[in-house]
Every structure is written in C-alpha cells, then in structure tokens.
Amino acid sequence: MRSLDEDPLLARRYLERLSRLLVPQGGAEPRDLLPEGPMLADGVAKGGLAGWQLRRVADHVDAYLQGPIFTATLAEIAQLSTGHFCRAFKVSTGETPHAYIVRQRIRRAQLQMRDTRDTLSQIACACGLSDQAHLTRLFRRLVGTTPLAWRRAWQHGA
C-alpha cells in the first residue's frame, strides 16, 4: 500500500474525500463547487484502477467534456475491457464512469456560471448537455438547487 507521502495524487484525493465527510449534515453551502476529478474510494482497493489509468481517464474526460464520452473509449484508454474498466473504476472511485462524467459536466457548468456571463443554455451546450432543462435536472440532483439560484448565490456572495 502506498503512503500519502509517496503519492501526491492519492494524498489530494484522500483530503478531498475527508473534507466531504466534514461538511455538516445540512449539506454544502449553495455556492460550493463540486469536487474536481475522480475521488478515490476509502483506501486503495484491490481490483481498482492503477494511478496512471485513473489519470489518463480523468484527463480524457476533462479534454472532451463538451461532447459525447463513451465508456468503451475510456476502457480503451485504460487498456481494459469495458466491463472490467467499469468495475475497476467503481472500486477505485466509488462511482460509475457515467456518474463521474455527469459530475464533471456539472462542475464545469459551475465554473462557467461563476466566471462568465454566458446564458445557461450556452453553458449547457458547452458542457456536453443537450439543453438547459437537462442541465437544470442534473444540477438540482447533484447540487441541490437550480443553476440560476446557484449562480445568484455565487454573485451575491462574491
């Protein structure tokens, strides 16, 4: 088992996961951003992805977030079969590849809402979502509020 001193990526993921546990039960602040990148499941689990595989997959997702991302492509990047990749990804991160991609799309939408004046419809398309309604449904499920309410909270708190 690698120590946190030997692997900065592992240390960062561990701290992100730990900080999520410290959020009060009421949930995150309305202005908080979703965590970036894949979060490692508790400990380094047997049967999970190697660090290089996780990094390559995360880099690919980040680079191609505006368009369709296929699990088969991610599996190819990790040099695994699709089924094995999906199982190993979930063991490593605690979430499915699809859930990870959705979370990254919503995080990117949060960053664009914070940093630009683009409409929610433009942001949805730039994040690989079909339309503003799709963005709103996913955003509400992951963040707990609508994109417009989140954006207003961010603007008034900044």
CA angle 154, 152, 20 (to 5 degrees): 40
pLDDT tens for 43-65 read 556 789 999 999 999 999 999 99
From first to last of its 158 residues, the chain has per-residue pLDDT tens of 556 567 666 666 666 555 554 443 344 455 577 777 666 554 556 789 999 999 999 999 999 999 999 999 999 999 999 999 999 999 999 999 999 999 999 999 999 999 999 999 999 999 999 999 999 999 999 999 999 999 999 888 76
- Hey, where are the domains in the chain? 8-16+34-152
The CATH code belonging to domain 8-16+34-152 is 1.10.10.60
